[in-house]
Amino acid sequence: MEKRKVACVIIGAMGRMGQRLCQLSAASDDVVLAGGTESLQSGCVGKTIKELMGLGDGSQRLVEKLEDMPEPFDAVIDFTFPLVSMETARFCARSGKAAVIGSTGFTPEQAAELKELSRDFPCICAPNMSMGVNTLFKIVADVARILHEGFDVEVVEMHHRHKKDAPSGTAMHIAGILAQSYGWSLDGAGVYARRGITGERRRDEIGIQTLRGGDVVGEHTVMFVGTGERIELVHRAQSRDCFAQGALHAAKWLMHQPAGMYDMQDMLGLRDAVA
């Protein structure tokens, strides 16, 4: 029996991540590119993905709203912005469609609403869809438990000049893992800037520093700094493919899950390691 492919709609299909998701979906053996959405201001609404990117058979169109999709589909993949992603989640709650959400920068209120909405549809929402980064999360938790005493910890992230939020969602997730491992509150431990006479570094600090420039896809470094020694854990994304491929794997995995909120740790079987 031939395996059924997962039909995916890409939100913000003409963005940097959106275009790569379209390309990889169209080339996948397990996923069908069903169409995409874009804003009216883009000038692309109503056009086919074949016209715009040379992909598909000409039936896949860009629409403004998911309700306007002419083709049937199973899941949506959204790497846009919180306001757009909240509309995606509300649609999925009404329709029961699966959603993979890689947007970052949600407010606490938006995150709470998203979790409530996911009671009605299967959703993976993660600050980073890379398999490598999610492995890094586990390693960070393991090292933090071992090197609790006598080591200071700093998180440094760098992204391209166009990134809207800072620090990155991935850096904040790493900081959250560290805080939980140490039994600290991130609200009290997180230090996001140092300037002037700051005094000595507190023992219960987690430094989280942001760099922006050029076309850097994404780099995260976690430093455990002791007396006379230092461990650095580094992940460098060399292209957006690692995020896009992770999202496609997530969409396929969601087809076999009940409604609820998941992340990449669930998909990779690492939940106990970093919870």
Spans of all domains in the chain: 6-125+240-274, 131-237
Q: Give the mean pLDDT of 96-106.
A: 94
Burial class from Cβ neighbours inside 10 Å (0-12, 13-18, 19+) for residue 58 reads exposed
**Res. 273: pLDDT tops 60:** no
List Cα–Cα distances, 260 to 77, 179, 243, 263, in angstroms. Answer: 16, 25, 22, 10
Please give the span between the terminal C-alpha atoms of the chain, in angstroms, as a whole number.
38
Q: What is the pLDDT of residue 77?
A: 98
H/E element, 87: helix 82-95
Q: What is the pLDDT of residue 178?
A: 98
Cβ neighbours of residue 184 under 8 Å, at least 6 residues apart?
204, 206
Largest CA distance in the chain: 69
Distance CA 43, CA 55 (A): 18
Q: Give the mean pLDDT of 266-275.
A: 70
Among 3, 50, 163, 164, the active-site one is 163
Class of domain 6-125+240-274: alpha beta
H/E element, 141: helix 131-146
pTM above 0.75, yes or no: yes
Q: What is the pLDDT of residue 199?
A: 95
User: Per-residue pLDDT tens for 32-90?
Assistant: 999 999 999 999 999 999 999 999 888 899 999 999 998 899 999 999 999 999 999 99
Contact 11, 79 (CB under 8 A): yes
Strands 152-159 and 218-225 turn out to be antiparallel
User: Per-residue pLDDT tens for 191-246?
Assistant: 999 999 999 999 999 999 999 999 999 999 999 999 999 999 999 999 989 999 99
List Cα–Cα distances, 74 to 7, 34, 99, 162, in angstroms. Answer: 5, 9, 9, 31
Q: What is the pLDDT of residue 59?
A: 84
With pLDDT > 90 as the criterion, what percentage of the chain qualifies? 85
Q: What is the pLDDT of residue 206?
A: 98
Instruction: Determine which of 77-81, 162-166, 181-185, 232-236 has the lowest per-residue pLDDT on average.
Output: 162-166
Burial class from Cβ neighbours inside 10 Å (0-12, 13-18, 19+) for residue 187 reads exposed
Pick the CATH number of 131-237 from 3.40.50.280, 3.40.190.10, 3.30.360.10, 1.20.1050.40: 3.30.360.10
**Res. 257: pLDDT tops 60:** yes
User: Please, which pLDDT band fits residue 1 given cuts at 50, 70 and 90?
Assistant: very low
Among 97, 159, 220, 249, the active-site one is 159
Residue 163 designated active-site? yes
For the four alpha carbons of 165, 171, 175 and 180, in that order, the dihedral sign comes to positive
Q: What is the pLDDT of residue 124?
A: 97
Mean pLDDT of the chain: 93
Tell me which of 270 and 54 has the higher pLDDT: 54
